[in-house]
């Protein structure tokens, strides 16, 4: 296949805890032209971006109609099949209790692991475009302010590590943006919107995987929408829109990936699955994942 000359990317990242030992990280890489097009669509339909409310999934049960309509629009835009080769979503689910780092358990070890997998997720999203483009230029990497990697350690080492694992040209700095567009400067509101979209996807994914999933109808409706419109396509083999990576690795079968995602969601008027397989040993071929030297 003949490769195209150049693509410019915008990358957005957020994280969340699935439970006490499991972290979820999501990175969204979007072609800059597609990003600009989506910003225009959101502005045209919903008004000034800096006045849009933040949509926290955990507060979705108390959301008004405006927030619910906004959330549905966000997912419709991201899941639009016309953008299939211009958007890539990577979700990493890592069980920290099963990762062997040689460090004592504690905050420092957790930060180390979260830093590694955030870097890996960003790198994977960027490299996904290398099959089609000879040159990749990342214009901006934006991470949710106050997240697990909002620290000087990540800022200092992340870009150099990503650079060694990808051939892309990277920005000089990583930007930390609040997911509430109203708390940011007007020029940064469009970036806050996309960080908020990732928060919504992560929250829904967490509800799909968690044993203590919400039965609130509004949370359930948005979870089902994200699952049906987006996550099914992301988890499919040879997906063009995304990839889900689990650590320790779950055996590479579609059945197991579906179990991870669809726990507790109504499909064809029944519960398909009810447990989170990443917490079940029989789905992990090895008890530990050794973090290699280059990861550190």
pLDDT digits (tens, 9 = 90+) for 283-292: 233 333 333 3
Question: How far, in Å, CA of 267 to CA of 296, rounded?
Answer: 41
Question: How far, in Å, CA of 131 to CA of 101, rounded?
Answer: 32
Give the residue among 253, 257, 245 at the shortest CA–CA distance from 25. 245
Give the residue among 187, 25, 5 at the shortest CA–CA distance from 94. 25
Question: How high is the pLDDT of residue 150?
Answer: 66
Is the predicted pLDDT of residue 43 greater than 90, yes or no? yes
Query: What percent of the chain lies above the pLDDT cut of 90?
Result: 29
Q: 83 versus 96: which is more confidently predicted? A: 83
Identify the top-confidence range among 68-72, 109-113, 231-235, 254-258. 68-72
Is the predicted pLDDT of residue 98 greater than 80, yes or no? no
Is the predicted pLDDT of residue 196 greater than 90, yes or no? yes
Average pLDDT for 139-158: 78
Question: How high is the pLDDT of residue 52?
Answer: 92
133-142, 149-158, 226-235, range with the lowest pLDDT: 149-158
Q: How many helices (H) and strands (E) does the chain have?
A: 8, 10
Is the predicted pLDDT of residue 47 greater than 80, yes or no? yes
Question: How far, in Å, CA of 215 to CA of 289, rounded?
Answer: 34
Angle at 229 between CA 205 and CA 28, to 5 degrees: 60
When the pLDDT of each residue in the chain is averaged and rounded to a whole number, the result is 78
Question: How high is the pLDDT of residue 294?
Answer: 33
Domain that residue 31 falls in: 4-295
In the chain, the number of structural domains is 1
Q: Is 171 helix (H, G, I), strand (E, B) or coil?
A: coil
Average pLDDT for 24-36: 94
Q: pLDDT digits over 227-254, tens only?
A: 888 888 887 777 888 888 887 765 444 4
């Amino acid at each position: 296949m003949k490769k195209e000359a150049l693509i410019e990317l915008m990358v957005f990242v957020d994280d969340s805890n699935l439970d006490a030992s499991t972290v979820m990280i999501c990175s969204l890489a979007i072609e800059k032209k597609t990003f600009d097009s989506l910003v225009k669509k959101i502005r045209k339909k919903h008004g000034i971006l800096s006045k849009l409310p933040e949509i926290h999934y955990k507060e979705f049960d108390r959301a008004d109609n405006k927030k619910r309509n906004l959330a549905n629009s966000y997912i419709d835009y991201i899941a639009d099949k016309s953008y299939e080769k211009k958007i890539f979503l990577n979700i990493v689910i890592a069980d920290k209790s099963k990762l062997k780092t040689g460090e004592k358990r504690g905050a420092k070890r957790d930060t180390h692991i979260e830093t590694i997998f955030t870097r890996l997720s960003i790198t994977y999203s960027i490299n996904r475009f290398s099959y089609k483009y000879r040159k990749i230029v990342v214009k901006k990497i934006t991470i949710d302010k106050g997240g697990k990697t909002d620290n000087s350690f990540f800022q200092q080492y992340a870009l150099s590590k990503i650079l060694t694992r990808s051939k892309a040209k990277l920005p000089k700095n990583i930007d930390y943006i609040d997911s509430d567009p109203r708390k940011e400067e007007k020029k940064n509101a469009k970036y806050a919107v996309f960080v908020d979209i990732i928060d919504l996807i992560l929250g829904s994914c967490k509800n799909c995987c968690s044993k203590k999933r919400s039965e609130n109808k509004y949370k359930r409706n948005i979870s089902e929408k994200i699952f049906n419109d987006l996550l099914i396509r992301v988890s499919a083999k040879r997906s063009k829109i995304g990839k889900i990576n689990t650590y320790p690795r779950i055996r590479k079968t579609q059945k197991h990936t579906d179990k991870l995602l669809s726990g507790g969601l109504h499909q064809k008027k029944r519960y398909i699955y009810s447990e989170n397989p990443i917490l079940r040993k029989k789905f992990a071929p090895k008890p530990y994942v050794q973090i290699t030297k280059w990861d550190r």
